């Protein structure tokens, strides 16, 4: 029998553990690398604690890996200090380990894309400080790939929704605490502008495809998303699954600025609210056409999401079909 190949996941936040679980079920050896204590990973997954900004330490923890999945994102308020050092350390570590590097990226680098429509060929034109950082981080990866130093595959996703997505821009901890206590769902910008949201299960599944299907190698991909729809009807979908009516309230930018004085991570959202001022539509046609599958329909994605939120924050509302889906 052949020895299972080692896959290393960097980051134990919202996506990394989901990637680990899928790889483990597929029969791979899996190592999960985190900043904190080396405990708490999915059963059967080796967990290590490493400073990935240190290229030597990063290379050591990646040694022997066929594929490395980069799902590391520092706290929003620490991007200026940590994002690029982490990118350089991970990139150099993967190069020394001769591993295929699969990177989870976001859409900040596109800035205000023409008509709010984004595909893999959309020009990189950031309009925010965080977008500039993301664009520079992606440029480092692509330059190393183009020099032939290592194989780099990038998967881009939009704003998260789903079980475990506590730090999501809209459908995160604050949203679920509010709706579970009978309050409205909140939105930035225009709640009636089409917006693509990425279900965390689809992000994880897409990254595994990029790491295991040779057709994906050395390209940029948009990970699967459902057809973009405005945030207001998506919040209403959540309400219907919960068996109640949910209204949508708009949070003015000046309120976010005021909240940022007391909660720094909220203040960091201000420059990103442009994404909700008009259409913000991710095109995943390349992924669907190549690999033959797309996003999980909301009718299947929302029940386990609500079941997770209910278990975490508590509610008298029971999501329809939650038990069948969880």
Domain boundaries, the chain: 6-159+197-222, 165-196+227-279+297-325
In the predicted model, is pLDDT for residue 135 greater than 60? Answer: yes
Q: Over the stretch 194-247, which tens digit does the pLDDT of each residue have?
A: 999 999 999 999 999 999 999 999 999 999 999 999 999 999 999 999 999 999
What CATH topology corresponds to 6-159+197-222?
A: Rossmann fold (3.40.50)
> How many whole angstroms separate alpha carbon 324 and alpha carbon 326?
6
> Selecting from 1.20.950, 3.90.25, 1.10.287, 1.25.40, what CATH number does the domain 165-196+227-279+297-325 have?
3.90.25
Please report, for residues 63, 202, 220, 302, the alpha-carbon distance to residue 216 in angstroms, rounded to integers and kept in the order given: 22, 16, 8, 28
* Tokens matching residue 125: 């034109």
> How many whole angstroms separate alpha carbon 215 and alpha carbon 204?
18
> How many whole angstroms separate alpha carbon 274 and alpha carbon 127?
9
What pLDDT score does 205 carry? 98
The mean pLDDT of 86-93, rounded to a whole number, is: 97
In the predicted model, is pLDDT for residue 187 greater than 60? Answer: yes
pTM score: 0.93
Tell me which of 8-12, 188-192, 267-271 is least confident.
Answer: 267-271
Degrees (nearest 5) of the Cα angle 182, 304, 6? 135
Please name the residue ranges forming H helices in the chain.
Answer: 16-25, 55-62, 79-97, 129-146, 173-180, 200-212, 231-242, 253-260, 264-267, 285-291, 298-313, 322-325
Residue 288: which residues within 8 A CB-CB, separation 6 or more? Answer: 224, 294
Count CB neighbours of 149 within 10 A. Answer: 14
Do you know the residue count of the chain? 326
Please name the residue ranges forming H helices in 26-78.
Answer: 55-62
Q: Are 168 and 13 in contact (CB under 8 A)?
A: no
Same fold, 6-159+197-222 and 165-196+227-279+297-325: no
* Tokens matching residue 4: 């299972």
Q: Are strands 152-156 and 220-222 parallel, antiparallel or unpaired?
A: parallel
> How many whole angstroms separate alpha carbon 22 and alpha carbon 28?
9
């Amino acid at each position: 029998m052949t020895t299972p190949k080692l896959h290393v996941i960097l980051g134990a936040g919202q996506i990394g553990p989901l990637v680990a679980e899928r790889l483990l079920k597929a029969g791979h050896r899996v190592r999960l690398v985190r900043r904190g204590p080396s405990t708490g990973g999915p059963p059967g997954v080796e967990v290590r604690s490493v400073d990935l900004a240190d290229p030597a330490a990063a290379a050591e923890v990646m040694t022997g890996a066929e594929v490395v999945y980069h799902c590391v994102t520092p706290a929003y308020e620490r991007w200026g200090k940590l994002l690029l050092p982490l990118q350089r350390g991970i990139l150099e570590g993967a190069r020394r380990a001769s591993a295929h590097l699969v990177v989870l990226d976001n859409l900040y680098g596109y800035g205000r894309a023409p008509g709010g429509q984004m595909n893999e060929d959309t020009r990189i034109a950031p309009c925010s400080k965080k977008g500039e950082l993301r664009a520079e981080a992606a440029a480092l990866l692509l330059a190393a790939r183009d020099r032939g130093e290592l194989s780099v595959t990038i998967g881009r996703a939009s704003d998260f929704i789903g079980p475990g997505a506590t730090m999501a821009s809209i459908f995160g901890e604050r949203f679920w605490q509010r709706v579970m206590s009978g309050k409205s769902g909140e939105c930035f910008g225009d709640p009636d502008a089409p917006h693509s949201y990425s279900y965390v299960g689809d992000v994880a599944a897409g990254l595994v495809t990029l790491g295991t299907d040779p057709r994906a190698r050395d390209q940029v991909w948009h990970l699967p998303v459902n057809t973009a729809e405005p945030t207001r009807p998506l919040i209403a979908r959540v309400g219907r699954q919960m068996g109640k009516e949910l209204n949508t309230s708009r949070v003015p930018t000046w309120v976010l600025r005021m909240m940022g004085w007391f909660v720094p991570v909220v203040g960091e959202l201000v420059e990103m609210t442009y994404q909700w001022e008009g259409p913000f539509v991710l095109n995943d046609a390349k992924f669907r056409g190549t690999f033959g599958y797309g996003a999980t329909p909301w009718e299947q994605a929302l029940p386990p999401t609500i079941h997770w939120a209910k278990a975490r924050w508590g509610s008298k509302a029971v999501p329809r079909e939650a038990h069948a889906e969880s």
